[in-house]
Structure 1
Amino acid sequence: MPSSAPRSAGDPMVPAGRCPADSPGSAPGLAGGAAESGPRSGANGTRGRSAVGAQLRGRRFQVIAQLSVVLLAIGAAVTVIVRHQGVGSRPVPAGAATRPVAAAPLPLLGTSPATPSPSTSASPVFRLPGPVPSAGTGRFGYDDRTGPIMGEAGRVQRYRVAVESGSGEDSGGFARAVQVAFTGPGSWVDSGRLRLRQVAGKADADFTVYLATARTAARMCAQGGVDIRIGGRPYTSCRTSGKVVINLDRWRRSVPHFVAAKVPLSIYRLYVINHEVGHQLGNRHERCPGKGRAAPVMMQQTLALKGCLANPWPYRDGRRYAGPPL
């Protein structure tokens, strides 16, 4: 917050009609501080008044000089502080850490946000703590904003973004995460034959990206003929006709082998979006091309990496990166 300007050295606060030395009993030579109120006649009286006046003037000059020195010292100290910190700046506490990338807000309308640099994260998030709702209301809230067109050429495919009520997630935040996955660099639009754009919830769209609780995701996927259960529990995400369904469990918890390998949750989120949207675009599952190499985005990385390294992007260095068909 801006602070008031420092008072100049020539503006001492003195009550009107008084000087700092005008307090009763301050003048030397007046016993007990009692002043002679009436005029005096004769030479002695004149000389007495002249001597007292001289003493008062000298005392006032000394006090004013002392105040000037103090005010000048304060002004110099303020100048040093302002020059050191800058006007309006706030000092940053030593050791203060920035927030993890996953929590950073990203723009949606009118801009194409770049993927934040991993170096800005002091402590990467691998999974979110706390319980995850296993079931919601089954109803979805849509992000009603229209986003920029992502990609340089090709047909524009329009998509909507929706989050299940009761999931504890925000449709705007999920929409931003989807946009980051579609913006790249390295996303599907890097093919040069595809463009993507988010539209409002009631607009016509080619597909919708849903964030659903595990039970709702299982039901939606089963309706499209896809079983996402592992060990009897809804585990993976899926794509059915016109629907990309992201399982809230995976969205918040990632998967054990990603966590063990210290792969940030933000990377898993990019992967799961690009993998399921890859199915929407007509791509099938692929295998690891070799130990120590990047996993293709169409590899089922949610189940295992099989010697490959986690990778969320379908394009690398501007070229399609793929593995052997499964």
Structure 2
Amino acid sequence: MPTATRPRRAAGRSAPARPAGRRRPVIVVLAFLAAAGASVAVAVQRPSAGAEVLVSDGSAGQPSGPSSAPPTPSASPSPSLSPSPEPTTPAPVLALPGPVPAHGAGSFAYDDRPGAVLGRAGAVRRFRVAVENGSGEEVHAFGDTVQRALAGPGSWVDGGGVRLQRVAPGARYDFTVYLATRDTAGRLCRRGGIDIRKGGVPYTSCRVPGKVVINLDRWRTSAPHLVAAGLPLETYRLYVINHEVGHQLGHHHEGCPAAGRPAPVMQQQTLFLGGCRPNPWPYLNGRRYSGPPTWKP
């Protein structure tokens, strides 16, 4: 029998293709290796500890590792670069607004607080303080201003020839300082022989024996030329008290000694300055300050 021979493969015929599913493990392995390689590359290119890392939005990220630098404190609002406004001093009050009562009850409330003796030497002159009922003014506030005017420094007690003391009602006294509406002030002054009218209206203050009478109109509004000069109302009040108490202590009117100089306290500053500057004190720099006499006996 002839020997059986294995048939040859036809020339040019390729080996039968393997099923497609058998190549997937190789593709998965290659993909895994590619991803691992990318991770390795990223790990190699990562900066050293403490360096900033740029994140996707372009802002600075946190350091990649521990750093020796101290921790950054929590953010706080940055101070404004605009300068702080300078504190402003309020403008002085030159006159009080609103209507002033032309007349009151005609009766008075008295400061019930006895005060300390003002001055170091001389006879003691005792005084009361009174405010007309219906004037709208408070008697203790008026009493405080009277006390400040007569205590100085610069008041009549600085000369060492007289001392002054406020007393309560019922105590012995030498004179009374009244704050009165213009109608009552005009009546009190007229009884003592002094006409305080200007343009037919009681205008100034006065002193009659035992009575220092302060006109409420002037107490609240000063005088136009003094307001124009910028004189604070508080300073005018010191002046009018020292002026009228000066009359009670025996002093008479004086004139301006020279233009530009302080006005003597006994000058009628409520009516004119005569070129002088307003001044509420009889003593300046510890010395009695006066001008030429204008009073004739």
User: Counterpart in 2 of 1:153?
Assistant: 121
Q: CA deviation at 1:193?
A: 1.3
Shift of 1:96: 7.4
Q: TM-score, normalising length from structure 2?
A: 0.70
Question: How far 1:202 sits from its partner (Å)?
Answer: 2.1
Taking the aligned partners of 1:201 and 1:316, their CA distance within structure 2 comes to 33
What corresponds to 1:136 in structure 2?
Answer: 104
Aligned to 2:270: 302
- Equivalences for residues 1-326 of structure 1 within 5 A: 122-326=90-294
Separation of aligned partners in 1, 2:172 and 2:267: 31
Residue deviations 1:238-290 (CA, integer Å, cap 9, x gap)? 00000000000000000001100101001110110000000000001001001
Give CA deviations for 1:141-197 in whole Å, capped at 9, x if unaligned: 000000111111111111000000000000000000000101111000001111111
Question: What is the CA–CA distance in structure 1 between the aligned matches of 2:169 and 2:232, rounded to whole Å?
Answer: 30
Report SS of the residue matched to 1:282: coil
Give the deviation of 1:203 after TM superposition: 1.4
| Alignment-mate amino acid for residue 164 of structure 1 | E
* Larger helix fraction of residues: 1
Q: CA deviation at 1:95?
A: 7.3
3-state SS of 1:277 partner: helix
- Following TM superposition, by how much is the alpha carbon of 1:94 offset from its aligned partner in structure 2, in angstroms? 7.3
Q: 1:212 to 1:95 in 2, by over 3 A?
A: farther
SS in 1 for 2:240: helix
Measured in 2, the distance between the counterparts of 1:316 and 1:227 equals 31
Paired with 2:118 and 2:230, the residues of 1 have a C-alpha distance of 30
Task: Please say which structure displays the higher CA radius of gyration.
Answer: 2
Note the residue ranges of structure 2 that are not aligned, 5 or more in a row.
1-72, 77-83
CA distance in 1, matches of 2:124, 2:167: 11
Deviation, 1:204, is 1.4
CA deviation digits over 1:101-152, x for unaligned, max 9?
xxxxxxxxxxxxxxxxxxxx52200000000000000000000000111111
CA–CA distance in 1 between the matches of 2:268 and 2:134? 28
Which whole-Å CA distance do the structure 2 matches of 1:143 and 1:162 have between them? 6
CA distance in 1 between counterparts of 2:233 and 2:121 reads 31
TM normalised by structure 1 equals 0.64
May I ask how many residue pairs the two structures share in their alignment?
214
Provide the secondary structure at the position in 2 that maps to 1:271. helix
Encode CA deviations 1:41-77: one digit per residue, 9 max, x unaligned: xxxxxxxxxxxxxxxxxxxxxxxxxxxxxxxx99xx9
Secondary structure, in 3 states, of the residue corresponding to 1:285?
coil
**Matched residue of 1:211: which SS?**
strand
SS of 1:158's equivalent? strand
**Distance in 2 between the 1:309 and 1:195 partners?**
28
Amino acid in the other structure paired with 1:178 = V
Q: In 2, Cα distance between the equivalents of 1:199 and 1:151? A: 15
Distance 2:228 2:103 in 1: 27
Alignment partners' CA distance in 1, 2:240 and 2:170: 25
Give the CA RMSD over aligned residues.
1.7
Q: What does the per-residue CA deviation read over 1:282-326, in whole Å, with 9 as the maximum and x for residues that have no partner? A: 001001001001100000000000100000000011111000000
Rounded Cα–Cα distance in structure 1 between residues aligned with 2:293 and 2:166: 31
Letter of the 1:251 counterpart: W
